Each structure stands twice: as C-alpha cells, then as structure tokens.
Amino acid sequence: MGINAVLSIIRLDILFETISLVISFAIALAAFAGSRKTGSRSLTLLSIGFFLMAGAMLLRVVLTSWALTVPLSRHMPWRIFPLIILQTQELVYSVARVGAYAVFLHLYSSYSLSRSQQSTALVAITTSLIYNPFFEAVSAVLLAIVVYQLFKAKGPGESSFVIYGFILLLVSHLLFLALPVWLTFYFVAQFLQLVALTLFLTAVLSVFFDGKRL
C-alpha cells in the first residue's frame, strides 16, 4: 500500500471521527439536559461517558489534521515530532475511550445490582494502554460486560436502542481488532459505530422528550 493510499485512509478516518464527534457531543448534551430535567443518575453517567468520548474524538481530529498539514522539517528531531504527537494523542484517545466504557460499565452494573439484588465481581481494568490491539481488546471486553449486564437486568425487550447500540459498538471493536485480516473491516466498523451512536442519540432523545427509561 502506497503513501497516498495511507493518507486517503487517514483522511477518511478524520471524516468518520468528526461525524462521530458531532453525534457523541449531541448525545452528551441531550443526556445532560435530560438529567437536569428528570434528576436521573443514569442520564448523568451517560452524559459523562459521552463527553469523555467526544473530548477524545475532538483531540484526535485536531491533532491528526494538524499532523497532516504541518510541513516536514529538514532536521530529524523536528521531522519526527508530528509522529510523536500522534502517538501521544492515540494513547490519550485510547485511555479516554476506555474510561468512557468503564463509566458505562459502572452505570449498567450498578443498575443491575439495584434491579436484581445480585452481587457482581469487581473488574480490574488497567489504564496502562498501548494503541491498537490492546485498546480494541480491552474495549471489546468492557462492552461485552455492558451488553451482558443490560440483557441480564432488562432483557432484550426493554431499551432496545441502548442495547443494540452497545452491541454494534462491541462488534465494531472486534472488527477493528481483526483489521490485519481484511482492510474492509475498517469501513464496516466505522459504519457500525456511526449507527450505534445514532441509536444512542435516539434513546436519549426519547428519554428527554417522552420520559421513557433507558
């Protein structure tokens, strides 16, 4: 794969990330407004999680766009400076995204406890992350637990938008994990994340306008 093809994929990634950023920020604002209106702790935690995701996406879009436009220096230390910045932001991005998933896990684990009165084991989550496979694997594990807690507490008949949103997020991270197998997985995973975020936004707006539960 040539450098032009790589740059094209990076530009597509920025486009997808920007769209996801706008949707995540809309979800966070709607959830925050809903929590102020209803006093719902679930909406408060949901808004925190999506504010974390939106902040991570914003950082990634800004720094990646900057790295693509900055002119290359002739001096070696400054020539690799954009790469260092990109590696650092990917680490911050990974930690912030996993932090958001940890908030979702806390939200739905605690909800499950209050509904079923069952004890759950504590999950130790490491924050010393490196980019790519480890981040995708940790994200997939966290999301798998969130999906399990949702099905155990509410069943597939309730809050279908939220449940299916988390399922699509889980599948997208599994596809990102399998990216070395087939590059097309990247585009499928990005599309699934956009659909998942749209489902979350629909669920939060239904709470805000119709008073439905998540």
pLDDT in tens, 75-105: 555 556 666 777 677 777 878 888 888 888 8
CA atoms of 104 and 202, how far apart (whole Å): 17
Pseudo-torsion of CA 51, 148, 106, 134, nearest 10°?
Answer: -70
CA atoms of 100 and 21, how far apart (whole Å): 14
Low-confidence ranges of the chain (pLDDT < 50): 112-131, 156-157
Give Cβ neighbours of residue 39 (< 8 Å, ≥ 6 apart). none
Give me the helices (H) in 117-159, please: 133-153
Which of these, 212, 162, 191, 209, lies nearest to 19 by C-alpha position? 191
CA atoms of 12 and 52, how far apart (whole Å): 22
**What is the predicted pLDDT for the residue at 121?**
31
Cα separations (Å) of 95 from 52, 91, 137, 152, 191?
A: 10, 6, 13, 27, 22
